Structure formats: C-alpha cells, structure tokens
Amino acid sequence: MPHLGAGASSAMSPAHTVQLPLGFEAVLLDLDGTLVATDRFWLPAAQRGSRRALLELGLPLELPTSREWLRIVGLPLGLGIEMLFPRLDAAARRLVELRCEDEERQLLRAGGAALMPGARDALLELRRRGVRLAVASNCGRGYLEQVLGALELGPLIEAARCLESPSARRSGPGSAGGPKGGMVRDLLETLGTRSACFIGDRAGDREAAHSAGIDHVHFAGGFADPDEERGADAVLADWGECTALLGRRAEVLADVARDLDLLNAGTVAISAEPGTEPAVLASDLGRVLASLGRASVWLPIERLGEPGAARTQALTGWLSREPSQGLVGVYGADLGGESALAHADRRLHLTASPATRARRLAADPAGDISAPSRPAPGAPAARLDLTSALAPRWHP
C-alpha cells in the first residue's frame, strides 16, 4: 500500500514548472478522528454525561477508561454506548447517550471544537488546487451542523451526509458498506464524479469506500486501533502529507503523457478491463494534459452505438477532427474490433488485479468481469495498472 515516498517525476522536461492538478476531482472525508480532534471535547463530555446518567439510574459509577471512550469515536454513538455498557438495557443506554450528547453540545458551544493538526491547511490547499470536498459521518445532523459551523468549514465543504441523511437511512446495516456506504454513493452522485477517494480512520470508512468502488486512504492519526489500517489502499500518517499522497496519481498520468508523447500525438485509443473505469481515467488524464497546455476531447465508444458499419463511419469522422482542437481520445472496454482505430497514434490499455476489478464492479449493477476487453488493433498498447487508483503502475 502506498505511503508518502518514492514518487514519479511530474515534469515533462527539466524546464517544466507547471503545477499539476491533484489526481482526483473530489475527496470525501470522515469527520471524527480524521478531520476533527474529537478527543478535545468528547472525553470530558463522555465522562460527565455517563456519570450523570448512572447517577440518575442509581447505578455504580463504573466508567470506561479514556482509551475505551476514544475507541468508539467514528462509530454511531448508540453502537459505541452498547459496546461500552453491555450490561445496561436499551433504555438505560439511551439515557447515557442523551446525557453524553448534552454535555458535548455544551462544550461545542463553549468553543471546544478543534481540527486535527494540519487539517485546515490541507483542506485549504486541496480547495486551492480545485479539489471538491465532502463529508460522510456516522453522527446526527445537529452535531454535524454544529461542528462544521464551529470550525468554520462550511465554505470549504460542498456537501455533507450523516446518519439522518436519506441515503444513510436507505442503506441499513446489512447493505454494502452500511449507512456510510450509502452516504458515499450519494455524495459521488451529488458531486457528479467518480474521480474520488475517501479519507477516514476506521475500518468502516474502508468498507464504505470500497462498497462505492473508490479507494480508501486510512488516516493513521485518528483514534482507531492500528489493525483497522488493514485493507486500506494507502495510509496518511498526518495531514501534512495529504497533497503529496493525493498528487501521486497525477504524477503517474504526467509520466503517461510524456512517455506516449500525448502533447504532440493526434489520437489515442484507451481500452480497459472491466472494473477499471476508463471514463474516470480519461477525465483525469485530460485535466493533467490541460495543465501542461494540451487540450483534449474524449469520446466513449458506446456513444456511437452498436458495432458495425455505421459506428465505423462515425468513428472515422471523429478521428478526423482538426488537430488544432487538441488530442482526440476514444475509450471503451473492448476496442479490438474497431478497424478505424488501427491508425490511432497511441494505444493505452487499463488493467487491475482481479480482486480490485471485482470489488469495483460490485458497485456497478451493470458490471461484468467476464466482458471482453481488447486493445485497439495495430501496434501493441502500453499498459497502466490501476489496482491502486491512488498510485497507478505505469508499464510503457
């Protein structure tokens, strides 16, 4: 799994000074333990609230430790209270939950909210680089609005979802990724992009991201147990590494552009194994090319209809566009039967591991891992391995 480190050159030449875009159009974010330093207010709120509840219930004051309270950060609060107070009945646990929430609201109103170190600078840099931001959190609407307001995150966060959002309510515990998986899928639809990753500190964040077919970045500076890193696609040790880690994808795409000479080529044909999402890759590659001064236009082969003479004629016309319009790109899963692409200047074939493709296709009801996938006819195609969307492997 990629950590910050061994990077690829983002330069097209020694004199290249253009700043590349980051690799994704959007970044989805967990709240507690990822963006928010929840320990600043949650520990005193939980200790005071649970003490009040147990006194009201006339029960012995056997309170969880600070570590135990922090271990439930990022989980739905009701579930966390059940884990910490398994011997209490539902009504008693609900009273503990209510008293903790009451103390939490008071501390937030008193200015107790704080961001994780470096988080604000990272968010500002992401927005400066054109990345759209959204939040998915296992909290209630009141808490979500109070925290975003107290931390003045409203201008930075384009959309936010919580357990009270319709998308979470429609996605019960038994659905893919649980309620948070529903939030992630809803946010991707709301933002209108699948060029995204999800940053969060809990295993549930990974499950939510993967259920929506996107990569998960584990934030190691949160309160989850270390074993919750397992299965993540990348690890973010602290917010200071964020833009470097997320920029790795764009650096690789710049290498693709350099090695295939896409700044000068007229046409490129991108074929793709099922589950590698060529539309996302074409969009991100187009943004990288634009930053390097090269315009591009892209056509999904499916838009031209079923294979046959009419499609071949339409494709020939598309490939004959004026060179002044920039690079002309065609993409689709199976381009092997498209004779019009035999004279494409460049060929690129997208691959990924079978496990990754199966995971991504699980988020696509129309996906078929056995669907044909052939490069365009002609010269051999270069290969780009998207097993990790965050750090693709380039095979010129």
Going residue by residue through the chain (396 aa), what tens digit of pLDDT does each one get? Answer: 554 433 333 344 433 467 899 999 999 999 999 999 999 889 999 999 999 999 999 998 789 999 999 888 888 899 999 999 999 999 999 999 999 999 989 998 888 889 999 999 999 999 999 999 999 999 999 999 999 999 999 999 999 999 999 988 776 555 677 899 999 999 999 999 999 999 999 999 999 999 999 999 999 998 888 899 999 999 999 999 999 999 999 999 999 999 999 999 999 999 999 999 999 999 999 999 999 999 999 999 999 988 888 889 888 888 887 667 799 999 999 999 899 999 899 999 999 999 999 989 888 877 778 888 899 998 899 999 999 999 999 988
Phi/psi at 319 (nearest 5 deg)? -75, -10
Residue 12 belongs to a domain: no
Residue 4 lies in a domain: no
The pLDDT, as a whole number, for residue 14 is 38
268 and 391 fall within a common domain: yes
Do both 233 and 315 map to the same domain? no
pLDDT value of residue 9: 39
Q: Does residue 14 lie within any of the structural domains?
A: no
Q: What is the CA radius of gyration of the chain?
A: 24
Please check whether residue 234 lies inside any domain of the structure: yes
Residue with tokens 């315009």: 295
Same domain, 192 and 338: no
Which of these three, 246, 275, 309, is where a domain ends? 246
Q: Tokens 């966060």 appear where?
A: 157
The whole-angstrom distance between residue 277's C-alpha and the CA centroid of its chain comes to: 14
Please state the separation of Cα 321 from the chain's center in Å. Answer: 35
Phi, psi of 157 (to 5 degrees): -95, 120
Tell me the pairing of strands 327-332 and 296-300: parallel
User: Residue 194: inside a domain, yes or no?
Assistant: yes
Q: What is the distance between the alpha carbons of residues 300 and 279, in angstroms, rounded to a whole number?
A: 7
pLDDT of residue 366: 73
78 Cβ contact partners less than 8 Å away, ≥ 6 residues apart:
93, 94, 97
User: Please, how many CA atoms are within 13 Å of residue 367, restricted to the half-sphere of its CB?
Assistant: 17
Q: Which two structure tokens, joined as six digits, stand for 369?
A: 């891992």
Residues 71 and 177 in one domain: no
Edge-to-edge strands of the sheet including 234-236?
A: 159-161, 132-136, 26-29, 196-200, 215-219, 234-236
Alpha helices in 157-241 (DSSP H): 166-170, 178-191, 203-211
Q: Which pLDDT does position 112 carry in this prediction? A: 87
The total domain count for the chain is 3
Nearest in space to 70 (alpha carbons), one of 39, 98, 48: 39
Range of the domain at 389: 260-395
* Residue whose C-alpha is closest to residue 93's, from 49, 38, 138, 32: 49
Q: Which two tokens stand for residue 292?
A: 């390097």
pLDDT for res 171: 67
pLDDT of residue 343: 87
Q: Tell me, what's the pLDDT at 3? A: 45
Q: What is the pLDDT of residue 6?
A: 32
Whether 391 contacts 379, CB under 8 Å: no
Point out the domain boundary residue: 246, 277, 295: 246
Boundary residue ending a domain (109, 128, 146): 109
Give a yes or no: residue 251 inside a domain: no
Residues 30 and 85 in one domain: no
Q: Is the same domain home to 97 and 118? A: no
Residue 28: beta bridge partners? 134, 198
CA atoms of 294 and 28, how far apart (whole Å) = 29
Same domain, 102 and 210: no
At 252, which amino acid appears? Answer: V
Are 369 and 386 part of one and the same domain? yes
